[in-house]
Amino acid sequence: MVEQLGKRLAIDLDQVISLDCIDEFSSKKNPFPCPTTFRTALTHYVDICTPPRSNVIKDLAQYATDENEKAFLLNLSSNEGKSQYNDWVMKDQRHILQILEDTPSLQPPIDYLLELLPRLQARYYSIASSPKIHARSIHVCAALVRYKTRAGRPAEGVCTGWLEKMIPSETDQFKIPVFVRRNQKFRLPRRATVPIIMIGPGTGLAPFRGFIQHRAAIVREGRECGENLLFFGCRHEKKDFIYEEELKEFEKEGIIQLYTAFSRDTDKKVYVQHLMEQEALKLWELLEKGAHVYVCGDAKKMARDVHKQLLDIIQDYGKMDKTEAETYVIGLENSFRYQKDVWS
């Protein structure tokens, strides 16, 4: 994509540049580390994959030499063109290269484009390992995002698509910039004897693999440990059951109680919330014993359905009405016993 941008804008990607900030009130002399090259800036510093905001399109429109294309771009960035912007840019997921391809007369200066484009943001992933077992490495579990947009163009996740190509071998070794950010809330209870209930379909399993490894190390040290329930779901057992062997080994050791749902392998779709319903009495008893509940994964549907199921369990087995159950859940949240790490 960077090569295509260089060709479309007729620039030497390996030319050394320095972009200086002329805003006297800015705390930064440069918008990103300089000197650098156009190739490095487009690859590592600016976001060329996210559909540009309407104000960016408005600023670029002046560099369209075709009047019809200029009018089209200006309309996209106007109040009257909000619907068309949402349809043509956002729903079709057009990034800057595709906008340049679809408006051939648009030829913005590369330095101006670098100024307009947003900075490439860090991608955050849950750590899928425990230092008690993997002291010198950090594991990440991520789904490769690859699909076709509504306009029929191929698209892929910025970070997962980049990482996919970095498979080390005897001849190839890779280094990537990473940092660890502490999560002060989504963490294990201080006391290992406290039971935990983990609900994480798909890659939502990632932090729980770390939790389970941590507790497995405690058990193997001969120390007392609370119950560890894992509700995991995916579409197909044979294709999507990540860490299957490891999880079954933990189950065999008695470290976890594993409940699985494979939604496309049965006539009737079964999800993690249905497994919770089946184990409702056990979940309620653990809640009353002080268990912590963790939910990780899709925010749009899964987390909402799990939350509803949790409320139903508390109502049914706690003999509460809806308001009392909601108050009970708020109490869990306020005491950090009900924690979510979800995304849409």
Catalytic residue among 126, 129, 130, 159: 126
- Give the contacts of 67 (CB within 8 A, at least 6 positions apart): none
- Residue 137 catalytic? no
Catalytic residue among 77, 130, 141, 341: 341
Cβ distance 152 to 165 under 8 Å? no
Q: How far is CA 284 from CA 288, 305, 319, 322, in A?
A: 6, 17, 11, 16
- Residue 83 catalytic? no
Catalytic residue among 159, 225, 234, 296: 296
Query: In 3-state terms, what secondary structure has residue 196?
Result: strand
Token pair, residue 222, equals: 């001969």
- Residue 296 catalytic? yes
What span, in angstroms and rounded, lies between the C-alpha atoms of 283 and 280? 5
- Residue 130 catalytic? no
What span, in angstroms and rounded, lies between the C-alpha atoms of 134 and 215? 13
- Give the contacts of 260 (CB within 8 A, at least 6 positions apart): 232, 233, 237, 241, 275
The catalytic residues are 126, 296, 341, 343
